[in-house]
Amino acid sequence: MRKSFILAIVTFVCLSSCSKQQTVVASGSKHGSDRKPAPDFTLKDENGATVKLSEYKGKVVLLNFWATWCGPCGVEIPWFIEMEQKYKSQGFAVLGVSMDEDGWSAVKPYVAERKMNYRVLLGNDSLAQFYGGLDSLPTSFIVDKDGNIAFTHIGLISKNEYVNEVQCLLGGQPVESASTSASAACPTK
């Protein structure tokens, strides 16, 4: 019994993020006036179209930095597909920024295989630095309708935590769950 428990803990730690160093799962929310603007960027999507973060002002954006080789990133992708479908009509968008060094040759087949219904962009080291340096994947930022970072997550978190935060920023009520943390309380605008 004890061996199973220890094995479960080790597995969780290994799967909670992909990094070169030990990572602490971090999450935080800020109230409207304390939020900092999300750095704007211009990248190309999988179809070659130019995408600017600033074009999404007025929407809640889940900005997810990920890679095809990252196990926890693969866990989140079905959640994001579901959220894109469920909340898109309410002013929500997911932007997935792949940090794969092999570029589109690795990313396009991965996106097609998983039927990702949200925009996928190819990131670079300069963009990573604008967002504080990405020491671990996945790293996600939830950007409010004013273009400010409301929530930051480093490593794998629960689906309910993402849903709660998005619903709060869209003006709805969070989902009640025993696994939700302090972010279940909607921050003020």
What is the pTM for the complete model shown?
A: 0.81
pLDDT at residue number 5: 39
Does some domain include residue 136? yes
Provide the residue range defining the domain that includes 167.
2-184
**Cis peptide leading into 138, omega within 30 of 0?**
yes
Task: For 79-176, list the strands marked E by DSSP.
Answer: 92-98, 119-122, 136-137, 139-143, 149-154
Does some domain include residue 70? yes
Number of domains within the chain: 1
pLDDT in tens, the chain (189 residues): 554 433 343 344 344 455 433 333 344 555 566 899 999 999 999 999 999 999 999 999 999 999 999 999 999 999 999 999 999 999 999 999 999 999 999 999 999 999 999 999 999 999 999 999 998 999 999 999 999 999 999 999 999 999 999 999 999 766 554 344 444 456 555
pLDDT at residue number 38: 97
CA angle, 140 then 74 then 154, to 5°? 25
Does some domain include residue 189? no
Does some domain include residue 147? yes
Report the C-alpha gap between 26 and 99 in whole angstroms: 20
pLDDT at residue number 156: 97
Residues 6+ apart with CB under 8 A from 121: 43, 44, 45, 51, 95, 96, 97, 98
pLDDT at residue number 67: 98
pLDDT at residue number 108: 98
pLDDT at residue number 187: 58
Does some domain include residue 37? yes
- For residue 106, give the CATH number of its domain: 3.40.30.10
pLDDT at residue number 18: 58
pLDDT at residue number 163: 96
Altogether, the residues listed in the chain come to a count of 189
Report the C-alpha gap between 9 and 14 in whole angstroms: 9
Does some domain include residue 154? yes
Report the C-alpha gap between 29 and 26 in whole angstroms: 10
Does some domain include residue 99? yes
pLDDT at residue number 175: 56
